[in-house]
Amino acid sequence: MGRWKNGAQCAVMLTFDVDAETLWLAGDLTNLDKPGLLSIGTYGARVAVPLILDLLKENDLKATFFVPGWTAETHADLIGVIHAMGHEIGHHGYLHEEPTTLSADEEEEVMRKGLAALQAVTGGRPAGYRSPAWEFSTNTLQLLQKYQFSYSSNMMSHFIPWQHAETGIIELPVQWLLDDAPFFLFRPNGPSRPIQPAATAYQAWSEEFRGIYRFGGLFNLTMHPQLTGRPGRLLMLQQLIDYIRGFPDVWFATGSEIADYWRTSGENDNQGGMLDV
Ligand SMILES: [Zn+2]
């Protein structure tokens, strides 16, 4: 028997950070005058998100979409469709600001603006928070508690969730290995890595899945519509889903489902001696 819901051996969380144009505007608003550069982000919202929603529907899967407030305002109809299809919407800053670059007051303002933008689309509060670039300031956890989040998906100290002391926030851990950006993000306007073939990401992700499955962990995959939403990479994502579904007892779930399960499953109690976080 695995530790997950109904004895599942492994949990899988497919997540999409819908940065859209904010990826190119964060930290450099002069890019507002560069429509070519911004169009990379526009592709993510306007073309990739619908393709991803189709893929998820064909596979009968629910995913978690982390959305900056600016994206929710600029592409409100699209984010509304994601929500209406039953996927989870999480907080991802306002204009993709990294909290480490903000004062405490600025960080709280970004938190509030992001919340207001998401609530305007979904009518509810997001349960989850993923920081842009996964960066935390020393205030972030307290802010998550103040604004009643259930979980954070930002830390890399384990591949099994845990509960942050004092705040009670559940952590659904991530890792750069399970992010599409190191493989696919190409910055035409600065130092950048070469673009990797989709097969390279598939190889890395499928072998990491096999390991996480072996140890009964959480396979939390972070993707960006403007990156993984390219046609050839979507075929790779389908291949990965098929590969994962070849294993018995895998629980596909959204972030809030996993956090709710973890909070009440008793697994939390087993973490204390193992983790120093
Ligand atoms: Zn992002």
* 277 has pLDDT over 70: no
Task: Please report the pLDDT score of residue 266 as a whole number.
Answer: 72
Task: Please tell me the distance between residue 67's alpha carbon and the centre of ligand 1 in angstroms.
Answer: 8
**Residue 4: how many CA atoms within 13 Å on its side-chain side?**
24
Alpha-carbon Rg for the chain in angstroms: 18
The average confidence (pLDDT) of the chain is 94
Task: Please report the pLDDT score of residue 209 as a whole number.
Answer: 98
Task: Please report the pLDDT score of residue 268 as a whole number.
Answer: 65
Residue 224 CB contacts under 8 Å (≥ 6 apart), including other chains = 16, 17, 18, 19, 23, 44, 180, 181, 185
How far apart (Å, rounded) are the C-alpha atoms in residues 149 and 169? 7
Q: What is the pLDDT averaged over residues 1-29?
A: 95
Residue 261 tokens read as 């399960």
Residue 191's pLDDT band (cuts 50, 70, 90): confident
Residue 154's pLDDT band (cuts 50, 70, 90): very high
Three-state DSSP class for residue 88: strand
Q: Enumerate residues with CB within 5 Å of ligand 1 (an ion).
A: 17, 19, 132
Euclidean distance between the first and the last CA atom of the chain, given in angstroms as a whole number: 27
Q: What is the pLDDT averaged over residues 253-264?
A: 97
Residue 242's pLDDT band (cuts 50, 70, 90): very high
Beta carbons of 165 and 171 less than 8 angstroms apart = no
Q: What is the pLDDT averaged over residues 260-275?
A: 70
- State percent of the chain over pLDDT 70: 96
* 270 has pLDDT over 60: no
What is the CATH architecture of 5-269?
Answer: Alpha-Beta Barrel (3.20)
Residue 122's pLDDT band (cuts 50, 70, 90): very high
Task: Please tell me the distance between residue 19's alpha carbon and the centre of ligand 1 in angstroms.
Answer: 5
pLDDT digits (tens, 9 = 90+) for 95-108: 999 999 999 999 99
* 273 has pLDDT over 50: no
List, in sequence order, every residue forming a beta bridge with 251; answer none if it has no partner: 11
Q: What is the pLDDT averaged over residues 132-136?
A: 92
Reported in sequence order, the residue ranges of 78-133 that DSSP labels E, i.e. its strands, are: 88-91, 128-129
Task: Please tell me the distance between residue 265's alpha carbon and the centre of ligand 1 in angstroms.
Answer: 30
Task: Please report the pLDDT score of residue 190 as a whole number.
Answer: 81
DSSP 199-254: HHHHHHHHHHHHHHHHTT-EEEEEE-HHHHTSHHHHHHHHHHHHHHHTSSSEEE--
Task: Please tell me the distance between residue 275's alpha carbon and the centre of ligand 1 in angstroms.
Answer: 27
Closest CA to 85 of 115, 54, 114: 54
Decide: pTM greater than 0.85.
yes
Ordered by start, the domain boundaries in the chain are 5-269
* 131 has pLDDT over 60: yes
